A = this chain, B = another copy of it.
């Protein structure tokens, strides 16, 4: 692997230089350039079938296939993405975000970790896999599917999958967009939370009114919004929506034991949580459990009335709440949406009008069946590559794993090697290069191990 490392870093730097910010229409051309860069790299590596899917409406995605020597070998589809987050506030970057900079073991740049680095890791893994075999055909039929809209909530992923059913057919999806728990605690991710977002709009009058004129005599939408938010949790930190916990699958004792065995440093957790000053959350669960296996309701924003300097003594006409729920298996975003609408209706006082609007694209939760043989294989190759015991972890974020599972109809497992403190979505994103090299080694080993385990 070390022999390939220099080229790997040089290639990744070239790719990072293309600012493929999918959320910004001004950069949509760059998303296309990024797709073609990847396609060219795959062709250089010898992938026999490489395609750029760029006929819209999805931003360009890349598909590649490298058939196994054995036609009966299983087919594995590696999923990743090549679009990146915006870079604002750009002045907080210590190095230009699109001029990847190496400092010791770290490579700084937008997309270094999320997700160009992990996709590049898989290109490297295939080279290493073939080199180890001394052949030009992998042990499994490898397919690569790298979309360009993940950071925008994968709005056209369903359509892409349905338009390319034959190409994407496989026996297993390997999802490569999650981190391990820590450098000294490599883990196999076994699930992501889902998300359902909504905006609640509470309207009183048709205009703000002077609080000297009417204050104390008419309902205040800001106060009503506050009461609604306050009612959303009970005093044990549990969400009060009807049947919110009815479908929650609790983690197994083995998973809880694994989580408890992971090193946990409160100060580091807080520092990585935007400099938060204390831990809190649902009673009866550890911090890792609260973030990985428990659902939440978070206020992402609340806005009403005057926010400028000094005082403006008004009763505001309107209040808006941005709310998102992180969901765990087997919660259903549609059921949560219905419960929220009922909750808002119950908590809207006379004289105010309430509307619940969907916000964002949402995603169902997903958890891996840890009894699937691929999971055991993953643990083996991780222990070999990282030379440490490997435990289970999850991630509190959301992604399209459930969608891939439902639509392609096969199990999804996670293979990621980045770190939670890579500052993805933030200034100074970086990747620790040895993590990617070890991840590539694990993947290279996995492709040898899967035939006979997965069919």
**Interface positions of A (Cβ within 8 A of B):** 153, 193, 195, 197, 204-220, 222-223, 225-233, 269-270, 272-282, 287, 290-291, 294-296, 298-307, 310-317, 319-320, 322, 324, 326, 349-353, 359-360, 395-398, 420, 425-426
A238 to B203, CA, bound (A): 23
CB neighbours of A310 from chain B (8 A): 197, 359-360
A114 to B207, CA, bound (A): 20
Besides A206-B274, A211-B396, 8 new A-B residue pairs in contact (Cβ under 8 A), listed by A number: A214-B274, A215-B291, A216-B396, A222-B302, A274-B317, A300-B312, A300-B314, A305-B322
A206 to B210, CA, bound (A): 35
B218, B229, B360, B420: the one within 8 Å of A273 (CB): B218
Task: Report the copy number of this chain in the oligomer.
Answer: 2
CB neighbours of A273 from chain B (8 A): 205, 209, 213-214, 217-218, 315
**Cβ-closest 5 pairs across A and B:** A278-B351, A311-B360, A212-B397, A209-B274, A205-B274
Contact A315 B298 (CB under 8 A): yes
Contact B218 A278 (CB under 8 A): yes
Shortest distance from the beta carbon of A190 to any chain B beta carbon, whole Å:
16
Shortest distance from the beta carbon of A402 to any chain B beta carbon, whole Å:
14
Shortest distance from the beta carbon of A261 to any chain B beta carbon, whole Å:
19
B231, B300, B313, B316: the one within 8 Å of A195 (CB): B313
B282, B303, B398: the one within 8 Å of A302 (CB): B303
Chain B, residue nearest A273 (CB): B214
Shortest distance from the beta carbon of A265 to any chain B beta carbon, whole Å:
14
CB neighbours of A280 from chain B (8 A): 217-219, 349-351
B210, B216, B352: the one within 8 Å of A277 (CB): B352
B207, B272, B298, B320: the one within 8 Å of A216 (CB): B298
Shortest distance from the beta carbon of A234 to any chain B beta carbon, whole Å:
12
Contact A275 B207 (CB under 8 A): yes
Q: List 15 A-B contacts (CB under 8 A).
A: A205-B274, A205-B276, A210-B397, A210-B425, A213-B420, A216-B296, A217-B269, A217-B279, A223-B233, A226-B229, A298-B315, A300-B306, A300-B315, A306-B322, A313-B398
